[in-house]
Amino acid sequence: MTPTAFSRFPSRLQAAIVSNLGWTSLRPVQEEASHAILDGHNAVVLAPTAGGKTEAAMFPILSSLVEREPVGLAALYIAPIKALLNNQAERLGHYTEMVGLRRFLWHGDITPAQKNSFLKEPAALLMTTPESLEVMLLSNRVPHQRLFADLRVVVIDEVHAIAGTDRGAHLMSVLERLNGFSDHDLQRVGLSATVGNPQVILEWLQGSSQRQQVVIDPPKPPTPKDIRVLYTSSLHETAQAAAQRGTGQKSLFFCQSRSLTEQVAEQLRGHEFDVFVHHSSVSLEERAAAEARFHHGGNAIIACTSTLELGIDVGDLDKVLQIDSPSTVSSFLQRMGRTGRREGTVANTTFFCQEPEVVLQAVAIVELAKEKWVESVRINRRCWPVMVHQLLALSLQYGAVSKEFAWQHFSRVPDFADITAAEYEKLVEHLLAHDFLFVSNGLLSLGDQAERVFARRNFMEMYAVFSSPQHYKVVTEAGREIGSLEQGFVDNLVDSMSTFLLGGRAWLARHIDHNDRKIVCDPAPRGRKPRWGGYIPQFLGHQVCQKMAAILCDEQMPGYLSQSAQETLATQRAEFGSALRNGCWHMLIEDESLLLWNFAGGAVNQTFKYGLELLLPSISVAPDNFKLKMRLGEVALPQLKEALAALSRPQTWAELGPRLLKCMPNYRLSKFQSAMPEQYSLETVKAYLLDVETTTRMAQARFG
């Protein structure tokens, strides 16, 4: 008979789990993960929110640490955001303490004295972020070789949130740098609630490790869900409906932007429940107060963005409310998974959709989730911005590095796997020519231009691959901090005249101090919508848009739609349904424009735009998630169909490649683009903006 994982734990850990937690056995995901981790495998562990993933990773790790006690630091727990670290600190502190070990939390809010104490006497478990690890590696006060010599394992929580991003590439490079100091092949464990391609994530996580690898994804028994989609034609109507649904409950009200969060909170005030606001521009103190009061309250709503989507615990939750629809199935599942944790409760989400097409989008998201489809993470194996960042970081960490040493390191990072040695040489030559690096005794050191651009505030710009926008602190006359506003918004404010929403309340900008980056404000009777965000487009995915088209062609009416939502879906079906049955393509002439509806998704239609404009220079194409728009008279239909047929051939795209690259808009997706050769910068934009593979496939299906 195969022994249980629990029985493999040392008696000290078994006794601690029984006496402290009252457990005598493990859940299936914990059982499988514990066997894999105890056997030394790298693993990706999948389980729903509150499904026991943390214990699935930490118990077998603690088991190993108890059996062979470490010399100082032995395990890393990495989270994508500080809030999740803070949220997990008490739990992981309890688990380590119950077997006589310690954990330490390291991020920007921890004092230098506390960090120095840790460096003198390291805890067995370090909880931190990728950026804080970079700080440690770049600090000459951290004894890298001594601190990381016995590092054995790293746990990455919510791994799907960073895989395939610049932050994920940065983390993988940092782990390889840490691996160089360790006496062990660093074991890697990723935790995720929702991901469509866990094997790809695992292979990415593997890096240079030689360990065996396994995906832990035990069968999940079906559970009932309470899903409702309502059509509410205004924000006021939305707030009224949400108040009816949320009164007497503890609810999270998810919004797709900070400005909408503020508007929702303002509309909700005055009802018989407490209203809190939680997004990245609300001050840390305000967010912490909201979390604490909500945790212990019983009749409250937090209007929030995705800051509360990850596994931050706000206590037992009754309802998830959603204005409009999230753009991904993954987000929907994460958010719904915050509910239904207590015995006798059901996971639930209520959508309040303010536009007819948003009703359709919400139905598509729900139906894809019912089919158990979730977005896959796409790994970018030519991650130029992070290679630039890490080349500068290596030169800063060591004072100077050889080209060969850096390339040897980069060759171990999966996010650089498709970059050739010759392309790397071109990058180094560019950095030397523009004084981001200089050569001394055959070694690369940080140049004057890198110092000017990235060395502000003691190299703070070097610690993170993402840009930190300039913010103005917002305070009351009494000095209480309300939150912050980005400079682009503040530049349009006028002293004693302008009002804005922050923290769910309206404020009057009494005095704006541009030197100290501070706004002194008073409460105002009414608020004005802040203009958050940038100009870089945000897309709906191809699969979601295709599902929307399929729903338009269907005749069955989902039972979770309100009467008004059913009516708006029926109207859309009457308009599009029959036309889209021919392969989800529909050509329409309207107001001297030719509309080519294809429900292909934003990236695919951006790709069609640039491909068509290169083949037919006389036309201008305006794309969105669902269609391509052209002016009548700019192109004849036979020409257009011929061009679309050409775009069904991979050879056409190969021939268009160099010209396509030059068409890319000057988006700044990374602060390190300024240090890159133009070709690599444009390639970075192209990787974000276009999807040639799916575009080719769509063109083949209809015009090939």
Q: What is the pTM of this model?
A: 0.87
Burial annotation 161-177 (CB, 10 A radius, 16+ → b, else e): bbbbbbbbbbbbbbbbb
Q: What is the mean pLDDT of residues 629-644?
A: 90
Half-sphere exposure (Cβ direction) of 97: Cα atoms closer than 13 Å: 8
Q: What is the mean pLDDT of residues 630-656?
A: 93
Residue 678 in any domain: the answer is yes
Identify the CATH number of the domain in which residue 132 sits.
Answer: 3.40.50.300
pLDDT at 488: 58
Structural domain count of the chain = 5
Residue 454 CB neighbour total at 10 angstroms: 22
pLDDT digits (tens, 9 = 90+) for 141-181: 999 999 999 999 999 999 998 999 999 999 999 999 999 99
AA letter at 5: A
SS3 227: strand
pLDDT at 577: 73
Q: Are 418 and 201 in contact (CB under 8 A)?
A: no
Residue 619 in any domain: the answer is yes
Q: Are 624 and 602 in contact (CB under 8 A)?
A: yes
Q: Are residues 9 and 116 in the same domain?
A: yes
Residue 276 in any domain: the answer is yes
Q: Are residues 273 and 397 in the same domain?
A: no
Q: Are residues 38 and 151 in the same domain?
A: yes
Element (H, E) at 430: helix 421-433
Burial annotation 497-536 (CB, 10 A radius, 16+ → b, else e): ebbbbbbbbbbbbeebeeeeebbbbeebeebeebebeeee
Q: In 157-257, which residue ranges form alpha helices assigned H by DSSP?
A: 166-179, 198-206, 235-246
Half-sphere exposure (Cβ direction) of 55: Cα atoms closer than 13 Å: 21
Residue 57 in any domain: the answer is yes
Q: Are 185 and 210 in contact (CB under 8 A)?
A: yes
Residue 375 in any domain: the answer is no
Q: Are residues 488 and 607 in the same domain?
A: no
Q: Residue 18 is part of which domain span? A: 5-216
Element (H, E) at 700: helix 692-703
Residue 125 in any domain: the answer is yes
Q: Are residues 46 and 21 in the same domain?
A: yes
Q: Are residues 301 and 398 in the same domain?
A: no
Q: Which of 170, 196, 216 is the last residue of a domain?
A: 216
Q: Are residues 230 and 139 in the same domain?
A: no
Phi and psi at 438, nearest 5°, equal -140, 160
With CA atoms as reference, report the closest residue to 303 among 239, 237, 229.
239
Q: Are residues 340 and 388 in the same domain?
A: no
pLDDT digits (tens, 9 = 90+) for 84-129: 888 899 999 999 999 999 999 999 889 999 999 999 999 999 999 9
pLDDT at 529: 43
Could you identify the residue written with the tokens 């989507």? 309
Q: Which of 462, 489, 506 is the last residue of a domain?
A: 462
Q: What are 65-72's contacts with CB under 8 Å, separation 24+? A: 65/99, 65/101, 65/124, 66/10, 66/12, 66/13, 66/99, 66/101, 67/10, 69/124, 70/124, 70/150, 70/152, 71/149, 71/150, 72/121, 72/122, 72/124, 72/146, 72/147, 72/149, 72/150
Q: Are residues 148 and 13 in the same domain?
A: yes
pLDDT at 460: 67
Q: Which residues contact 54 (CB under 8 A, 6 or more apart)?
A: 88, 91, 92, 157, 191
pLDDT digits (tens, 9 = 90+) for 450-486: 888 886 555 666 777 765 556 678 888 888 888 877 6
Q: In 39-157, which residue ranges form alpha helices assigned H by DSSP?
A: 53-67, 82-97, 112-120, 130-138, 144-148
What confidence tier does 313 reach under pLDDT thresholds 50, 70, 90?
Answer: low
pLDDT digits (tens, 9 = 90+) for 12-29: 999 999 999 999 889 999
Q: Are residues 187 and 303 in the same domain?
A: no
Q: Are residues 210 and 251 in the same domain?
A: no
